[in-house]
Amino acid sequence: MQREADTAAPKTTGPTGEPAKTRAKGADDEAAIARLRTAGLRRALGINGVRAVLVVAWLGAWELSARHWIDPFYYSMPSKIWERLVGWFTDGTSQGSIWEQISYTLQEAVAGFALGAVGGVVLGIVLGRSRFLSEVCAPFIKAANAIPRIILASLFVIWFGLGMQSKIATAFVLVFFAVFFNAFQGAREVDRNLVNNARILGAGRVQVLRTIVVPSATSWILASLHSAFGFAIIGAVVGEYSGADKGLGLLINHSQGTFDSAGIYAGMIIITVLALLAEWLLTLLEGRLLRWRPPVAGHDAAI
């Protein structure tokens, strides 16, 4: 996008007669760009280097203190956690293949996420655009939001049994509210000017909703989806924790039951990796959907 804007600038003198923003690029500019690029590379290298040092220092200190001063039975240690992870992926877990557990939890999280996101977006936009409905529903939504929703997981196990459905329901409840409030706010804060302009240009109610409200709310909704997928995984794992026959939550629960602290850490790491992967996918999606947005401020670096 940035590059597009750059090539655009010289043309602005042509048809419109308005002043161009940049002069033609000369050799000087190219040298400056090359300098900037090396500086950028060096900076990135520095940041990643410091990060690596921090991780090594942290893991090293942990390993060292677990060998000498603290009891690894309670606190475990990096080498044991690594061993457990390797064991799970090569020999399988107490509950069967690790891939089966991962896929089970992931299916629950994705299903709960999809249902919750769709539900949250639809209801958020409808209530955001209808004053009457939003005023009617406000106290109920506030009350529902105040319920400690994690506890619902126990209820869902009673309702839907030990299978996937109860976990999907827990993930759904967590995701729904996160997305709903953002979609609601996004639909409310649509620029009145844009709506009026669309009406003058001939848009009906549905067209205003589809072409103005939904795109306006998209950046709000996408922002909420980032945290929402984390919630979906939490929902699925907590659901499994309160009663399941498969899944990462069950694995962690089982590790707790056998005083296997390395197993708890190993489960945590797998879940973290899943959440980070999902986050990365969502960032890709966001970049695709919000291509029209100007690049973030402060993009111009001083040379």
**Binding region for another protein (CB under 8 A):** 4-5, 8, 11-12, 14-18, 21, 191, 193-194, 196-204, 207, 211-212, 215, 218, 291-294
> Smallest gap, in angstroms, from Cβ of residue 23 to another protein?
16
Q: Which residue carries 């293949």 as its tokens?
A: 97
Phi/psi for 72 (5° steps) reads -65, -15
CA 122, CA 36: separation in Å to the nearest integer?
45
Kindly state the tokens that stand for 117: 């996101």
By beta-carbon proximity to another protein, the closer residue of 92 and 215 is 215
Report how far Cα 28 is from the mean position of its chain's Cα atoms.
42
Residue 160 neighbours by CB distance under 10 Å: 16
For residue 150, the 8-state DSSP code is: G
Kindly state the tokens that stand for 133: 């409905």
Answer whether 95's CB lies under 8 Å from 254's CB.
yes
By beta-carbon proximity to another protein, the closer residue of 142 and 291 is 291
Q: How far is CA 30 from each of CA 6, 24, 70, rounded to the nearest angstrom?
A: 13, 11, 57
> Smallest gap, in angstroms, from Cβ of residue 206 to another protein?
11
> Smallest gap, in angstroms, from Cβ of residue 24 to another protein?
17
Residue 83 neighbours by CB distance under 10 Å: 13
> Smallest gap, in angstroms, from Cβ of residue 182 to another protein?
18
By beta-carbon proximity to another protein, the closer residue of 12 and 227 is 12
> Smallest gap, in angstroms, from Cβ of residue 6 to another protein?
10
By beta-carbon proximity to another protein, the closer residue of 11 and 43 is 11
Query: DSSP 3-state assignment of 96?
Result: strand
Query: DSSP 3-state assignment of 93?
Result: strand
By beta-carbon proximity to another protein, the closer residue of 194 and 269 is 194
> Smallest gap, in angstroms, from Cβ of residue 30 to another protein?
23
By beta-carbon proximity to another protein, the closer residue of 294 and 298 is 294
